[in-house]
A and B are shown apart, each in its own frame.
Chain A
Amino acid sequence: MAGQPDDMSIIAAVVGGDVDAFGQLLARYETAVGNLVAAHVPGEDVAEVAHDAFVRAFKALPGYRPTAPFLNWLTTIALRSCHDFWRDRYRRREAPASDLSDDGQRFLEAALAANSREEFDRLARAREAREVLALVLDQLAPLDRLVLTLTSLEERTVGETAEMLGISVPNVKIRAYRARLKLRHFLKRYGIQGGDNA
């Protein structure tokens, strides 16, 4: 890392008017932000949302205070971009979130009744599993789906999730509870038990 300026000196240069210096921050964090965004939005929208996150970060850079690592600050901004992506997507959606198809329902039942680890792994890696996951998350409000993804799917703690999203711990707990409750009701509609802790 010898010769590489630290984040704070680059930030100072950018805020001081050297717009090109922002390219160094971009090169340093684009993979991290790209991976983070890819966990929350569909693959075809990752580039656009990550782009939006960096433009927002550039605008907000004068307000950055080094009380936490720059990546943490950038993470909160990137997740806000993901949140806004879903808010816009939901707003433009003409029909409400679709229901589980017969195929999807049969797939879910088969996966839940899998007798062996191998059979379950095979089913969990199938395309249908990702479709079910997308459908399940589509039932939730934008912020609730981010909370559920971070806490349940990525197994982050409530504290980490709160810090990443820039909201309070009780807010995360309430949203996680509400999301699980909604999923339980959604799955119960199809006679599938087990949504309690999804």
Chain B
Amino acid sequence: MRKGRETLNNLLRTAHRDRETPTLPRDWHDSVMADVSRLGPAGTVGELERLAPRFALTAAAVLVTFALAGYWALGTLPGDIRAAYSTSEFSVVMSQPWQNL
């Protein structure tokens, strides 16, 4: 069993060691530099990426604040509408009592 383990290890190690290591294409260097140049100065990219979580956090905080304010301002609105509607309906009924006769 131990011999089997070692043999298998050797087999996989040899296969790994003997794999082909391709050389990078001739235009590879230029294509990386072209991409990097498109990104602009490294400091700017890094700075924006560093600040990205803060932007996301700020946006989330603003969203939550607006949602709470909206709930606070409009939370009772459906009840108010229902109450107003019922009251006006009642007033209409009471103001035309002869129609119920």
Chain A residues with CB under 8 Å of chain B are 14-17, 19-20, 22-23, 26-27, 30, 34-35, 38-39, 43-44, 46-47, 50-51, 54-55, 58-63, 108, 111-112, 114, 120-121, 123-125, 129-130, 132-133, 136, 149, 152-155, 187, 192-198
Contacts and interface: CB of A to CB of B under 8 A. Distances in A.
A-B pairs with the 6 shortest C-beta distances?
A194-B4, A62-B46, A124-B14, A129-B15, A153-B16, A194-B8
A136 B12 contact: yes
28 contacts: A17-B42, A19-B37, A19-B40, A26-B29, A34-B23, A38-B19, A38-B20, A43-B20, A43-B21, A43-B22, A59-B45, A108-B11, A112-B4, A112-B11, A114-B7, A121-B14, A124-B18, A129-B18, A132-B12, A149-B16, A152-B12, A152-B13, A155-B13, A187-B8, A193-B1, A193-B4, A196-B5, A198-B8
Interface residues of B, number: 41
Given A27-B29, A62-B50, 12 more contacts: A43-B20, A43-B22, A54-B32, A54-B36, A55-B39, A58-B42, A61-B46, A112-B4, A114-B7, A129-B14, A194-B5, A195-B5
B57 interface: no
Contact of A50 (B1, B16, B24): B24
B21 A38 contact: yes
